[in-house]
Structure 1
Amino acid sequence: MADPERTAVCHVLEATEGGTRQYLSDLCLGLPAERFEQTAVVSALRAPEFGADIERLREAGVRVEIVQMVREVSRAEDLRAYRELLAFFRANPFDIIHTHSSKAGILGRVAAWRSGNSALRVHSPHAFAFEMNLPASRRRLFAAAERFAGRLTDLLICTCEGERETALRHHIVPPSKAAVVRTGVDLRAFHPQANAHRIREELGLPQRHRIVGTVGAVVEQKGHRTLVEAARIVLDEMPHTTFVIVGSGVQRHELEARAAELGLGRRFRFLGQREDVSRLLATFDLFVMPSLWEGMPYALVEAMAVGVPVVGSDIPGIRDVVQPHSTGRLCGAGDAAALAAAIREALTDEGASSRMAQAAREVVMREHSRERMVSAIAGCYERLLEVRAE
């Protein structure tokens, strides 16, 4: 039974990996339990390791319900998931239903609307599906679906100004229903560390090499193919450099084969999924985010918090936090030559890179703490309820 003294919030998420997984955990574990009674309706298909998150959420007092949702469009699977969500919302009253990412965003908002549940409907896109590298017809379909769901949305919470601008440009919601709450990270975990040389020894990374690394799922979105091609160009001029990818995903074997084909050998390492990302970031001389599309990536903000110089793609979400010649360097998405040039410049001009890294850390400390993000989300919920009560 719902506690009338607390705001009942239901989160809905299919994409239980990467940044959206972290975002759900941050909200469920960070929103004050004395003010919010939280439920998470999640799919467990994406990442087997998400099972540990489910147990941790339940131990913290969050109700977790499983509704299996698939990433790809599937008429049969999507209809089944929609019906399960519809039944759940009819049986369980909430004050706020907050959907996350594309699939849960469409199914969850439509089911909440059709169920007659009186909850206010909030959505966080975490990048829009119509920005993906897809055929034009598929992008138009996804944009139309987002516009329809936008009409059912009381508030769209974007992770950066660029994402909000995308939503307004595509007429997803009117400006009055689009807010920005910047991605926040755990500054107690992500901070400069002085033992990078010992970590390099543990990993077998050359002490005298410059380490260029990235963190993220090894999937098309993250642009790792561009990084492999750029590495070949950089290594021709700067052979004492080692490239590192931290993360797992469907493209790993393909990228390993391409790195071998290019003769990169031990100078391009795939470290797989790791739980000690904050320690690994401290070993990097340069963090690279070569993504093709993004919301505002956690890994980039975490690298900046650790004080590592950064290079990123010139796309919404990255350019919101990486200001050229101020907090980092930008280059064209998917352009290996441009990425290589930015990497060479960052490694060569150490003074400028260090100054930009310090400025970036100051921005993160000021604007991107996890506590600030969670507090702002709580404020969004409470303002929505206050307006409805007027």
Structure 2
Amino acid sequence: MRKIRILHVVQAAGGVDRYIRMLLKYLDKEEFENIMVCSQDFHKGDYEGLADCFEQIEMNRAIGMSDLKSIREVRKQIKKYNPDIIYAHSSKAGAIARVADIGLKNRCVYNPHGWAFNMRCSEKKKKMYAVIEKMAAPFCDKIICISDAEKQSALDKKICKEEKLQVIFNGVDIEAYENGTHGKVKRADLNIPEDAFVVGMVGRTSPQKAPDVFVRMAKLVKDEVPNTHFIIVGNGNQEAEIRKYAKDNGFEESLYITGWVDDPMSYVELFDVACLLSRWEGFGLALPEYMMAGNPIVASRVDAIPNIIRDGENGLLVEADDATGASEAVLRIYQDRNLKDKLVAQGLEDVHKKFNARRVSEEHGILFHELLVMR
């Protein structure tokens, strides 16, 4: 039988890039052929052995006149490859691909990877993003939500009818992690003593991931446990501000910011407690990654995070922007070994049962087949 041809349109890199690579890795290559049409932020070498074809066009994050050129280029690629299914990833590519596909004979799937209207921004921008999503919704067959919270957001904003929405929870590549090399980064490499208590986070140093809350929490924990060290795995525009706070409060020597790294899990393995204190979060892929590494978790009670973290069972939840509450949760784990062991054990069970990347690909495969039956 002829393979089902899927043309992926994607603009935003980062977490979306990782998501697509895991998806393609476990999609059945005997059944599916995958074409990548992506922005200049992607690298062809990352998709060798994953994608059958790789096309690069100019797509910009900001809304502007260049979008018209992007729409023409995407439509050109759709006509060139004549796919069975268009799969648009993230808000910008979702709008471009759905407009480019108008009038062409295929099925269209859209995955926002977190609604833009859930970001912390002005009410004017939130309304604009919601209007764009409502206008574009009729031009696709299915919208994939990465959590129950994302689906509820779409229903609350009346983006589309419920039957168009399908939840497929995110996942992590457990097999690759468990079969990989561990311990590549040592505490000594970061000048962290072996007996130190290490608290870390993975995420950009930008407002969404709340690194400012993390360092305010860090000061409070440091005051109680002087041998605590802190690691932020990521880069971003708030790094100078974060370093200044640590310096002004006397713990700059205990804070390590990695910048961009290819293998964040090498640093996650050093954590005694892992934090995700985001102000908004479509899913929070770092959470199952923390579970996979055997980290107890402290996370903010926002958006999709309570879909993943059950307070007191596989992690501890605190309110957004609550540095004091976060420090108290971290110290509870430090002081109570039984609590820590309980959170870790339940997290490991959950990541294997619920958040395996292989399951994500299997659910996509079922959806793709169902869409073609609808023809």
Structure 2 CA distance for partners of 1:5 and 1:193, relative to 1, 3 Å = closer
Is 2:286 aligned against 1:296? Answer: no
Unaligned runs of 5+ in 2: none
Match for residue 131 of structure 2 among 136, 139, 144: 144
TM-score (norm 2): 0.94
Distance (Å, rounded) in 2 between the aligned partners of 1:94 and 1:7:
8
TM-score (norm 1): 0.90
Distance (Å, rounded) in 1 between the aligned partners of 2:299 and 2:234:
17
- Displacement of 1:132 after TM fit? 1.0
What's the counterpart of residue 38 of structure 1? Answer: 34
Is 2:89 aligned against 1:100? Answer: yes
What's the counterpart of residue 241 of structure 1? Answer: 228
Structure 2 CA distance for partners of 1:355 and 1:63, relative to 1, 3 Å = same
2:229 alignment partner, SS class: strand
Distance (Å, rounded) in 1 between the aligned partners of 2:214 and 2:337:
21
What's the counterpart of residue 124 of structure 1? Answer: 111
Q: Which moved more, 1:288-297 or 1:140-149?
A: 288-297
What's the counterpart of residue 6 of structure 2? Answer: 9
Paired letter, 2:368: Y
1:211 alignment partner, SS class: strand
Is 2:72 aligned against 1:76? Answer: no
Distance (Å, rounded) in 2 between the aligned partners of 1:194 and 1:20:
24
What's the counterpart of residue 64 of structure 1? Answer: 54
1:284 alignment partner, SS class: coil
Paired letter, 1:273: W
Paired letter, 2:187: R
- Displacement of 1:361 after TM fit? 0.9
Paired letter, 1:112: D
Distance (Å, rounded) in 2 between the aligned partners of 1:197 and 1:8:
39
What's the counterpart of residue 78 of structure 2? Answer: 89
Q: Which moved more, 1:186-195 or 1:221-230?
A: 186-195
Paired letter, 2:87: H
- Displacement of 1:60 after TM fit? 4.0
Match for residue 217 of structure 1 among 159, 180, 204: 204
Q: Is the 8 A contact 1:217 1:249 kept in 2?
A: yes
Match for residue 23 of structure 1 among 5, 19, 22: 19
What's the counterpart of residue 242 of structure 2? Answer: 255
1:12 alignment partner, SS class: strand
Distance (Å, rounded) in 1 between the aligned partners of 2:289 and 2:279:
19
Structure 2 CA distance for partners of 1:194 and 1:123, relative to 1, 3 Å = closer
Is 2:343 aligned against 1:356? Answer: yes
Write the deviation string for residues 321-380 of structure 1: whole angstroms up to 9, x where unpaired. 100011101111222222222222222222112201110110111111111111111111
What's the counterpart of residue 163 of structure 2? Answer: 176
1:127 alignment partner, SS class: coil
2:36 alignment partner, SS class: strand
Distance (Å, rounded) in 2 between the aligned partners of 1:33 and 1:330:
40
Q: Is the 8 A contact 1:126 1:294 kept in 2?
A: no
